Structure formats: structure tokens, C-alpha cells
Amino acid sequence: MNIADSFRDPALCKGLLARLHEELDRPLRFMEVCGTHTVAIFQSGLRPLLPEGITHLSGPGCPVCVTHESEVAAFLDLAGREGIILATFGDLMRVPGPKGRNLKLAQAEGARVEIVYSPVDALQLAAKNPGDTVVFLGVGFETTAPTVAGTVMMAKAQGLRNFKVLCFHKLVPPALRVLLDDPECAIDSFLLPGHVSTVLGLEPYQFVAGKYGTPGVITGFDPVDILESLLIMVEQRKSGDYRIVNQYRRAVADSGNARAREVMFGVFETADALWRGVGRIPESGLVFREDYASFDALQALGVTVQEAPPTPGCKCGEVLKGKMQPVDCPLFGKGCTPAKPVGPCMVSTEGSCAAYYKYSV
Amino acid sequence: MSKSPLADTLSEKTLLLDHGSGGHASSRLIGNLFFRHFDNPILNAMNDAARLDMCGPISMSTDSYTVDPLFFPGGDIGTLAVHGTVNDVAMMGARPRYLSCGFILEEGLPMETLERIVVSMAAAASEAGVVIVTGDTKVVPRGAVDKVFINTTGLGEIIADPAPAGNCARPGDAVLVSGTMGDHGLTVLSGREGLNFSTDIRSDSAPLNHMVEALVTQVGDIHVLRDPTRGGLATTLNEIAGQSGVVIHMREADVPVRESVRNGCSFLGLDPLYLANEGKLICILPQEKAQAALELMRSMPYGENAVQVGTVRDAADGPGKAGQVVLETPLGGHRLLGMLEGEQLPRIC
Ligand code: SF4
């Protein structure tokens, strides 16, 4: 068995599950901050096997889901413009903006939209199309932002002036603060995102345990990781010794990745940002620093983000804050399905509504 | 210097609108390219239509092929156009015999590219034992199509009685697949995106008609035969579950996926169960016959990795509703394996 397989080993999982059933002596409400965890829990078939006392809530950690209506409107504003090629990761194509419009539709109507696998691909697209302006849609958390920042640095070094980034990057820790400040979000423990933490390390989460007395475990995406983390949560709840624990040591250094943070904060600085369903969160977004302003699509192309009203009926905000389970949204599976999504949580591959809709037997 | 056979006769290196005009240029193209490679008495008769000898129930299928890139490890648009239609015809429990072939070509296409495609179509048809008996060529202005589009229609005699069909899966049946899943889909995707997985990923494009013929004549009582092309195994099983009004219960650990495909998929955030296959079939038949069918498939080319991946159940016996596919994960948990909405797109993080 190779190392990767051992984290999915059924025998090991069965042992951990049995221990979890034994150890759990009171209900536990935990939030998987990251959408990839939500999907992993469903995909591995773990959900129906967990003890009944465990409630898992989805969190604000799906980058597509928290992209605000106004930000989607800004993509769509650029999408029809002469001489503009939008370069994006695939997941944004179907995210509904105001009035349900999305990039797929814009593309069908003639907008030039290219799906790329890395921001460097977008840079190459710019080099190949000197007569056009390539705008990369910068969506994603601390996982993605350093690569985008690195690409901007490359563009500067290469003197590529027709490459821009529409920067809507967001930061995870400030969103946790909002949840912890909200008395309705009664969360016993956080399953903290593995990918994001490779960059952040432990430090930016310390306030969760320190100030708010809520434990958190940084974890990977295989069933063994998740089960081990649940056990750690249960133990911490029992002992009252609330800490941030790094279960995902094979990928996450306690100090994170200093170089990635340096690149990210070399190009961007923090600012307030709009989160879909949540609203404005202080210091939770990234904007271009002065030195790199010429790469900022907002400034260079005169895009204004006009605060679009929330989509009527959509409870994404409640779901993202863990106040409502997807199936309790009145639109779930009726007005809102993957074929006709009302909110992004139903269309993103990491969206919790989509996960419940697709995987629940 | 070695010349392509075309260069001798056509002295034309690039496809022009003239080649679709119906005049001299067209007949040079048809005579020196298509007739030369597809050579057979029915086509050579050069009538407005082909005269065919067939009797009994007939299976017919048509499909149009567009693929980017045109050439990929394990095949090209030409092999796909033959294998795809041959396989569709065969899945009715039929022996495919004849193909038609229509080309829509973009002006400016290098003749050499077209010839490579025609040569592989001829080879694919010959391996499958079908003849290309009629065809058509249109040349359209640059930009009107992407290089080459091919339509093929196939005809075959149904040799199974009763013929397998999507609505014939019954509770208690075994669900078999003839080999690994997702090879073709990942190959084309990685070719298109210039992703270099320095591995052995190649398309599985292959004719399955000989395997089908062996299954229906030597094992028999085949309830469903399907080739899981676009949408992959997951989508095709959902269609069958819906048509038959049953639950298909799959064991994830039993689904064969090559290590390289699994790794490529996990890198891109794709699920191999939704990726296209072009040389695999699903066979659903009574559980008592499963072993014989598996042994037969494993003894044939393209069937070495055949396995049972699941069973057909009544909705009353366990998780899932009629029309659903339920996946049992290696941990023993269950989840739905639904249909995909739109195409699979790689993820952000
Ligand atoms: S079901 Fe649809 S409308 Fe309701 S919260 Fe989820 S995405 Fe929003």
C-alpha cells in the first residue's frame, strides 16, 4: 500500500469510526470551513457512518460560493467587451450573477472566455494575443492568491501590459471571526482547510481557540484525516483544552509557507471585501498594491463593482454560516437544482448544496 | 525522399474550396484519396447510393465526430468515427456491416492531415470487418468548422434474440465492464490543454463488435449492452437505471481505473467515472452467467481487464430509489452516483 492509499484504508477507517462512536459522549456541532471537506465527506461515504450526535455544518470556504453577486456582475460586464479575453478556472463558468446570468451564457452570446488551469496559462494567452487584453478572474483564498501574485510579478518582469487581474481574492480567518461573533452560529469546533493552511500555518487561526475558546483542527481530505480530526475535536471538547491542532502535518508546516505569503502580500494588500450571503467583512479581501496597480483590471479597465442586491429566496448566506442545512432551504431541489441553480452553492463543485443534492442517497 | 501517395497523383498539398465543388478537383480528391483507401466493390460501383444485401432485423446508428486535438495517443478523429459508430450498432446485439462517411472539411486543411485520417479510418474499418460504402465531402470556408468534422452512419444485422436494450436490466443481474474507465476522456483533455502527464495515458479507442458477437452467441441472455462514451460509466448507468426502473448498486473499489488516470483526475479535480471511454462496454446479464461472460471477455483483445462492478437491485431492497445509481464506497458507506450537469470542469483549489 502506498502512503496516499493508507489515508483511505478501510480497515483503519473502521477502527477510527468505532473509537469515535465510543468516545462521543455529547453532541458535537462542527463546521467544515472548506467546501472540499464537505465534498470529501460525502464522496467517501463517511456521512451516513458518523455517530448521530455529530452535526456537520458547511462553512464559508468555497471560493466560488462566496463570490458576491456584484463581483459576478463585474465579470459579466467585462465579458462582452471588445478586445477582452477572460481567462478563468472552470468553476466560475456557471455561477449565477444578477438575474441568473452566467459566463457560460455570455460565452454562447459571443464573449471570449478561456478556461485555464493556472494563472500562468492566462499569462501565456496574453503573450499569444498581443492585440487583446487578457483578464484573469482572480477568485480564491490564500491557496490561489500567491500563484496569482507570482504571475503578476512575472507579467511585470516580462513587460506584458495586456495582462490584467480582476482581483476578488478573499482571506479565510476574518470570515471565521464573523461566525464566532454571531451568537446564532453555535459551532463547537472547526475543521480547518488543508490547502489554505499550507500557506497560512497555525498562527492566523490562534484567535479562534485563544479569544473564542473554540478548538480547530487543520486537516487533509482523506477519510483517515477527517476521522482522526473528529476524534481530536471530541477529545478537546472533553478535556476543555482548546487549541488549534495541525493534523495535516504531511502537507502543512506549522509556520505555513512564508515565501508564498511574501509573494502574496508583495503584490496585494488587505482591504474590506464583499462575501456572498454574508456581506462586507473587514480586512477579508486582497487588492493591488500601488506598485502593481497597472495590472488591476478594476482600475485599468474602469470596472466598477456596484453592490448588487442579494438573489431573492437564496439562503446561501445561512448555509455558509452554518445556520441552515442545505436541505432546509425552501428552494433546495425545487426552484434550485444544479440544472437551474439559484445560488452558487448549488453549482460549485465544492458547494454544499450541490454536495447534498448530488450525493445524498 | 518519400512522398505520400497523394503527392504523386494530386500534387495538391492544401485543401481548397474547389475540392468540394463537384468538379475536377472534387473527383481527384475522391478518386485518389477516399476510393484508394476505402476500396471495396460497393463503393467502387460509384452509384448515387450503395446497394446492400441485408436481411432480418437491422441496427442503425449515426454519430458526428468533432474532437480537439485531431490526433491523440491511441487514436485520432478517424478511428473514433469508425469505432464509435461500429460500437453503437453492435450494442444492439448486432453484427455491424456497413458504414457511410460524411466529411465537413475546413478550407486550408493540409492534405496530409486528411490522408492520415482516411488511412486510419480504413484500418479501423478493416479491423472491425465493416466496409465504407458511401460517403460525402463538403469543403467550407476557413473558420466555418474546426478543421475536420466527420459523420458516420452504421448498419448491422441484429444477431441476438431478443436484442439487448437499455430497459431490460432486471433485479439480480450482474453489471460487468470490459476494462478500465476514463482513459479516452483524460487523454483528449490532457492533449487539448497541453497538460503533460508524463505517463502512459492513451485513448482506449477500439472496435467492440467482435466481443459483442462472442458474448451474444457464446454466452447469450444478455439483457443490456452499452458503451459508456460521453458522460462515462456514471451517466450511462444512470440512463440504464432510469430506462429499466431499477437501482444499480456499484462497488467503487471494484471499478477498474488505471493508476495514471486516477492520478491525473485527482490533480484536475475530475471523476474518472464521468470521463468518456471509446473502447469499453457495459454488459448486464443474469448473475449466473457473469463468470462465463467475464472469462470470455478476458480472453479477447480489449477485454483483458473485464470485471463485475455491481449488481441490479429492486428499489425495495436497500438504499436508493428506482432510476438511481448507488455507490458503495470502500468504507462501506453509500452515496448517489448521479448524472452530471453539463461538462466536468476542473476546480479552483
Ligand atoms: S438550495 Fe439554492 S437557493 Fe437554497 S441556499 Fe442552496 S444554492 Fe441557495
**DSSP H or E segment with residue B313:** strand B307-313
Which residue in chain B has the smallest CA separation from A224? B331
Contact A350 B347 (CB under 8 A): yes
Q: B68-71: which pairs have CB atoms within 8 A and are 24 or more residues apart?
A: B68/B146, B68/B188, B68/B192, B69/B188, B69/B191, B69/B192, B70/B113, B70/B117, B70/B147, B70/B148, B71/B116
Q: Label residue A340 left, alpha or beta by phi (over 0 means left) and psi (-120 to 50 means alpha).
A: beta
Whose Cα sits closest to atom 1 in ligand 1?
A332
pLDDT at B308: 98
Which among A72, A319, A357 is the best mutation to test ligand 1's pocket, defined by most ligand atoms within 8 Å of the CB?
A319
Q: Is the pLDDT of residue B3 over 50?
A: no
Closest atom, ligand 1, to C-alpha of A352: 6
Q: Is residue B249 classed as helix, strand or coil in its secondary structure?
A: strand
Q: How confident is the model at residue A3 (pLDDT cuts 50, 70, 90)?
A: low
Contact B195 A349 (CB under 8 A): no
User: B224-255: string of b/e by CB count within 10 Å (b at 16+)?
Assistant: bbbbbbbbbbbbbbbbbbbebebbbbbbbeeb
Tell me the three cell numbers of residue A272.
474590506
How far does Cα B245 stand from its chain's mean position? 26
ipTM value, please give it: 0.81
The 10s digit of each residue's pLDDT in A177-192 is: 999 999 888 899 999 9
Judging by DSSP bridges, how do beta strands B131-140 and B94-106 pair with one another?
A: parallel
- pTM of the predicted model, to two decimals? 0.88
Half-sphere exposure of B290 (CA within 13 A, CB side): 18
DSSP per residue, B100-130: EEEEEEETT-BHHHHHHHHHHHHHHHHHHT-
Distances (CA, A) of B58 to B26, B90, B96, B158, B159: 33, 11, 9, 5, 9
Percent of chain B at pLDDT > 90 equals 74
Distances (CA, A) of B107 to A360, B12, B36, B68: 51, 13, 22, 17
Q: Is residue A273 classed as helix, strand or coil in its secondary structure?
A: strand
Q: Is residue A75 classed as helix, strand or coil in its secondary structure?
A: helix
Tell me the three cell numbers of residue B288.
449466473
Min Cα distance B196 → chain A (Å) is 12
Half-sphere exposure of A18 (CA within 13 A, CB side): 6
Q: How crowded is residue B125: how many other Cβ atoms within 10 Å of its Cβ?
A: 27
d(CA B180, CA B192) in angstroms, rounded, equals 21
Q: Is the pLDDT of residue B8 over 60?
A: no
Judge whether A293 and A165 are in contact, CB under 8 Å: no
Candidates B105, B30, B22, B95; CA nearest to B59 is B95
Q: How confident is the model at residue B22 (pLDDT cuts 50, 70, 90)?
A: confident
Judge whether A347 and A338 are in contact, CB under 8 Å: yes
DSSP per residue, A286-328: EEE-GGGGGGBHHHHTT-----PPPPTT--HHHHHTTSS-GGG
Min Cα distance B129 → chain A (Å) is 40
Angle of CA points B22, B27, B31, to nearest 5°: 150
When mean pLDDT is compared over A54-63, A245-254, B30-39, the highest value belongs to A245-254
pLDDT at B25: 85
Candidates A288, A306, A296, A301; CA nearest to A78 is A301
d(CA A337, CA A305) in angstroms, rounded, equals 28
Cβ-Cβ contacts under 8 Å between A and B: the total is 88
Judge whether B184 and B203 are in contact, CB under 8 Å: yes
Q: Is the pLDDT of residue B198 over 60?
A: no
d(CA A127, CA A141) in angstroms, rounded, equals 26
The 10s digit of each residue's pLDDT in A7-46 is: 888 899 999 999 999 999 999 999 999 988 999 999 999 9
Chain A contact residues (CB < 8 Å to B): 8, 10, 13-14, 17, 36, 42-49, 63-64, 89-94, 104, 115, 117, 139-141, 143-144, 195-196, 223, 338-339, 347, 349-350, 358-361
Q: Cβ contacts of residue B337 below 8 Å, gap of 6+?
A: B234, B237, B238, B250, B273, B325, B326, B327
Contacts of A94 in chain B (CB under 8 A): 342
Q: How confident is the model at residue A306 (pLDDT cuts 50, 70, 90)?
A: confident
Burial environment of residue A151 by CB neighbours within 10 A (0 to 12, 13 to 18, 19 or more): buried
pLDDT at B273: 95
Contact B348 A338 (CB under 8 A): no
Tell me the three cell numbers of residue B313.
437491485
pLDDT at B2: 44
How far does Cα B136 stand from its chain's mean position? 22
Block residue for cell numbers 463485475:
B308
Which DSSP symbol is given to B18? G
Question: What is the pLDDT averaged over residues A305-313?
Answer: 84
Query: Using CA atoms in the order B258, B263, B266, B272, what is the torsion angle rounded to 10 degrees?
Result: -20
Angle of CA points B340, A54, A360, to nearest 5°: 20
Chain B contact residues (CB < 8 Å to A): 193, 195, 268-269, 319-320, 324, 326-336, 338, 341-342, 345-349
d(CA A179, CA A321) in angstroms, rounded, equals 6
Higher pLDDT, A1 or B333: B333
d(CA A300, CA A232) in angstroms, rounded, equals 49
The 10s digit of each residue's pLDDT in A95-146 is: 998 888 999 999 999 999 999 988 999 999 999 999 999 999 999 999 999 9
Q: How confident is the model at residue B1 (pLDDT cuts 50, 70, 90)?
A: very low
Tell me the three cell numbers of residue A304.
466598477
Candidates A197, A188, A167, A259; CA nearest to A61 is A197
- Helices marked H in chain B: 5-10, 24-29, 36-38, 41-44, 77-90, 111-128, 183-192, 209-214, 232-244, 259-268, 287-298
Tell me the three cell numbers of residue A290.
500601488
d(CA B7, CA B32) in angstroms, rounded, equals 10
Q: What is the 3-state secondary structure (H, E, C) of A136-198?
A: EEECCCCCCHHHHHHHHHHHHHHCCCCEEEEECCECHHHHHHHHHHCCCCCCCEEEECHHHHH
pLDDT at B28: 86
